[in-house]
Structure 1
Amino acid sequence: MKKIIYTVLAASLSLSAFAQKADGTTKSLVNAEKAFAEAATKNGTREAFVKYAASDAIVFRPNPVNAKTFYATAPDMKNLNWTVNYARVARSGDLGFTSGSYVVDGEPKSYGHYLSIWRAKEGKWEYILDLGAETNRPLVNVAPNFKEPKDHYSPKFATDKEIKASRDIIYTTEKTLNTMLKTHGASAFAGFLNPDAQLMFPGTDLIVGKDKIQAFNNRMIDKITLKTTSADKALGGDIAYTYGIATIDYKTDLRESFHYVFIWERQADFSWNITTQLFTLAVR
């Protein structure tokens, strides 16, 4: 009997480790995300969000806070469910992101988008950023979009100075975007969006496509300014992210502050475009 118990326990531990296994593929990241969601439903959000978090992970609840610190005392929930429908992993396999929709099955129910950024460490995936944007109704179902890296490349001897210089390119790109936003309004995003970019904004369904995002911006936004908090880039040089505070003046004479996360993707000409955006209301 003891042998059976030990065998079952060992298998359970093995499956738990496998659930977070990072092997440089998008498939492995999607598997980690799905296992994370299942753990939250089965064992509760407190245990799951601590288990899958990096030591320096940040969650926006609604303002940024260390994930492990927050979930050490946060109310436990087993009625949070989410579905991943978009995922990418950098060619270096050290950075990836997932997004999708969530439902809190409470009274009343609540719905929204989420975006998580993941880092591979010691062969397993850990999330380093997680935030959501609430909507007022269930979101339209979206077909899964999981794309594998085009190849696998990671510099073996990159120095701290080279990594910083590489990261500074992202800061400079977002600074340029912010300058353009100040002079041209939200229409400036047009020069920084991928054709298939996606936007997650509070109260709306997922908006996919540069033209549709610009139509939303032109309809809703008068002015927008960005204040970058942090940025990082995958070692493979193809994916990066930024996050910070966005101040939006609507065309209805209303101003609101948001936390934002942008996912950036390097283009063939070595410029950078935004492939994913999520805004969530900030509390001041």
Structure 2
Amino acid sequence: MHFAPLASLVLLMAATAASAQVPDAAPVVAAERAFAADAPSMGIAGSFNKWSVPEAIVIGGGQARRIGEAYPDGPRPADEPLLEWWPNFAGIARSGDLGFTTGGVALNGRRTGHYFTIWKRQPDGSWKWVYDGGSGASAADVPGPDSEPVILPTSSAGSASPEAAMAEVRAAEARLAERAASDQKLAHLAELAVDGRVYVAPRPPAIGARAAMEALDGWPETFRFGPAEGGGASDAGDLAWTYGPAAWTKDDTERRGHYVRLWQKRERGWVLILAQLIPAPPPTPPAGG
């Protein structure tokens, strides 16, 4: 009788078929590396415009702007600093249409923080980014450009559609915002995945709940988070990103900025994979103050 070998073969074929259906994040990582490789020769505006969709969003200086407004394409300034970045953490949706990378940033050779980019596969199969922003979380100890990034495991769960996914994420964000108005630390920990990451500048990224518990003490006790101003979800409804307004009080001064979040749907529901805060520049002190 050959039932045992036959059963093993069937199981092997099923496992191979299942693994073949899981997309590889390598194209997203490759796109990020190619984007970064163009910066030294093309300049910041040149490389950013080449690799983004026209409606891509950049957050900086307290504003969320389209790429053409943030980085008008034109002659490269003679004194433009050398901007370098490389992926340390990346992932892709089960549908293979949405991905992300984040990692260290260096300005003229000095590590200054972390970038975060959302990538979307285009109809021709190429990858373009739709969001780019950064955090001042320390990159001093992250692996260098020659290292391979950690890859987020692709989810086996998903929502019925991208629209359904965004509705569910909006509900999770409303819950987070309500709790954050009285205790942002508990609010974030309640939504954070066991392998989620919180970027609290100037600390290094906190990975996992234990590290996040300490890192979140570096943020104000409360936040006023507004509804998302933008974002999107994968076709499989398993990966979603959002950004929106944030306000808080620090040293008796009202501050504002943007939150940026990455969510993944798992068997227990939507969990927070990455949370960043991008502060606007502090208010200018009154003349003579």
Query: What is residue 154 of structure 2 aligned with on the other side?
Result: 149
Amino acid at match of 2:122: K
Q: Equivalent residues in 2 for 1:236-251 (5 A)? A: 236-250=236-250
Question: Shift in Å at residue 219 of structure 1?
Answer: 5.3
- Match in the other structure for 2:5: none
Contact 1:97 1:115 in 2 (8 A): yes
Q: Is the 8 A contact 2:182 2:222 kept in 1?
A: no
Greater Cα shift, 162-171 or 55-64: 162-171
Equivalent residue for 2:273? 275
Change (3 A) 1:203 1:154: closer
> What amino acid does structure 1 have at the position aligned with 2:232?
D
1:154–1:235 contact (8 Å) kept in structure 2: no
Deviations 1:166-197 (A, max 9, x none): 32111111011111222444212121001111
**Residue 121 (1) aligns with residue 126 (2):** no
| Equivalent residues of 2:165, 2:233 under 8 A apart | yes
Aligned equivalent of 1:131: 133
d(CA) in 1 for partners of 2:258, 2:58 = 11
User: Is residue 264–residue 273 contact of structure 2 (8 Å, CA) maintained in 1?
Assistant: yes
Asked if the contact 1:58–1:130 (Cα under 8 Å) also holds between the matched residues in 2, the reply is yes
Matches within 5 A, 1:100-249: 100-105=103-108, 109=110, 111-122=112-123, 123-134=125-136, 139-142=140-143, 144-147=149-152, 149=154, 163-218=162-217, 220-227=219-226, 228-249=228-249
Instruction: Report the equivalent of 1:64.
Output: 64
Deviations 1:37-84 (A, max 9, x none): 000122211211111011110111322111133322576446101111
Q: Secondary structure at the match of 2:278?
A: strand
Corresponding letter in the other structure for 1:240? A
After superposition, the Cα gap between the structure-2 partners of 1:281 and 1:170, relative to the gap in structure 1 and judged at 3 Å, is same
What is the aligned partner in structure 1 of residue 36 from structure 2?
Answer: 37
Matching residue's letter, 1:214 = M
Taking the aligned partners of 1:43 and 1:275, their CA distance within structure 2 comes to 32
* Rg larger in structure: 2
CA contact (8 A) 1:43 1:78 kept: no
Deviations, residues 224-279 of structure 1 (Å, cap 9, x unaligned): 121121232111111111111222335x545432212100011212x111011121
TM-score normalized with structure 2 length: 0.78
Cα distance in 1 between the residues matched to 2:81 and 2:187: 42
Aligned CA distance change for structure 1 residues 131 and 38 (closer, same or farther; 3 Å): same
CA distance in 2, matches of 1:226, 1:121: 32
Amino acid in structure 1 at the alignment position of 2:214: A
Residue 221 of structure 1 and its aligned partner are, at CA, apart by 2.4
Q: C-alpha separation between the residues in 2 aligned to 1:70 and 1:167?
A: 26
Matching residue of 1:87: 90
- Check the 8 A contact 1:200/1:207 in 2, yes or no: yes
CA drift of 1:149 comes to: 3.2
Tell me which amino acid in the other structure corresponds to 1:244. Answer: G
Q: SS at the partner of 2:58?
A: strand
The answer for unaligned runs of 5 or more in structure 1 is 1-22
Give the root-mean-square deviation of aligned CA atoms. 2.6
Following TM superposition, by how much is the alpha carbon of 1:150 offset from its aligned partner in structure 2, in angstroms?
A: 5.6
Are the equivalent residues in 2 in contact too, given 1:259–1:279 (CA < 8 A)?
yes
Give, as a single letter, the amino acid of the residue that structure 2 aligns with 1:280: I
The one-letter amino acid of 1:149's match is T
| 2-structure distance, mates of 1:69, 1:189 | 32
Distance 1:48 1:185 in 2: 37
In structure 2, the CA distance between the partners of 1:168 and 1:64, relative to structure 1 (3 Å rule), is same
- What letter corresponds to residue 120 of structure 2 in structure 1? R
Paired residues, number = 251
Q: Which runs of 5+ in 2 are unaligned?
A: 1-21, 284-289
Measure, in 2, the Cα distance between the counterparts of 1:61 and 1:193.
25
Contact 1:187 1:217 in 2 (8 A): no
**Structure 1 runs of 4+ with >4 Å offset:** 73-76, 252-255
